[in-house]
Structure 1
């Protein structure tokens, strides 16, 4: 499983690619939109930003997968938005907007998961690697 250090480095490299290309590279990966998610640290209260792929668009928002590469622990951003669901998102290099994070209910996950894994098999592989059920989160702009 990827370490926190590896995940941070991957995010840095991704950001550099976006900056160097003026955003021409990095806002879409493998047919998925990339969402820049800013959460409030549940312990620190500081703003934390990460880049995530969004394999599904629905209800005017973006669904992101709290997979952490199939690790047995949830990603820090998921813990943060669970504590404070008011977040900011930016997509396609646009200015960040306020959004609300909604963790999928079991029924929603049952509907959304096959849509995601049918098109992006890596998420199914992540689920096979872990005993935890990987959460799905809908990020919906509030503007």
Structure 2
């Protein structure tokens, strides 16, 4: 009985976090704060801790800047796939109008590195399109329903990338 009560509280907490993360206020306040905190924690802990992992699986993506050619580090939520060798990244930009910069970087330079749990993993990114995107989008919405609210707020199609371990 106690265990069911714990699960029930955890479920309510998760649903509450999902409701908050789907709001416009969150989309306005989170982008300048969460990535900065995650980058700092990641650096301080040798890549082992990200605040965001308390909500979702996360990685730090190191990609090559599309225009600058410089290494760009971006903490991102991800959806690990069952094969254990690939991850889906969602270019939601917290439901804001433009595509996030990291998506432009991956389109220009698909070879990247993700850091997860203190391990650097070389990956190659591929933009998902057509039926493959539709199937991945369904899985992403099941995984984190607030992505539907993000998509509803923007005219652009949110980009999905599959990263595969090289």
TM-score relative to the length of structure 2: 0.73
Structure-2 separation of matches of 1:48 and 1:24: 19
Residue 51 of structure 1 aligns with which residue? 75
The within-5 A match list for 1:60-79 is: 60-79=85-104
Q: Is the 8 A contact 1:33 1:91 kept in 2?
A: no
CA RMSD of aligned residues (A): 2.4
The answer to whether residue 151 in structure 2 is matched with residue 109 in structure 1 is no
SS class of match (1:131): coil
Structure 1's unaligned 5+ residue stretches are: none
CA distance in 1, matches of 2:50, 2:73: 19
2:143 aligned partner = 119
CA distance in 1, matches of 2:123, 2:43: 24
1:1-143 correspondence runs (5 A)? 2=27, 7-18=31-42, 23=48, 26=51, 28-30=53-55, 32-59=56-83, 60-94=85-119, 96-142=120-166
The DSSP-based 3-state class of the residue aligned with 1:72 is coil
| Aligned-pair CA distance for 1:91 | 1.1
Q: Secondary structure at the match of 2:99?
A: coil
User: Which deviates the most, 5-14 or 85-94?
Assistant: 5-14
| Higher percent of residues as strand | 1
The structure with more helix, counted as a fraction of residues: 2
1:54-85 superposed Cα distances (whole Å, 9 cap, x missing partner): 12425521101000011221000000110110
Unpaired segments ≥5 residues, structure 2: 1-23
Instruction: Return the alpha-carbon distance in structure 2 between the equivalents of residues 18 and 97 of structure 1.
Output: 15
Alpha-carbon distance in structure 2 between the residues aligned to 1:6 and 1:129: 16
Count of aligned residue pairs for this structure pair: 139
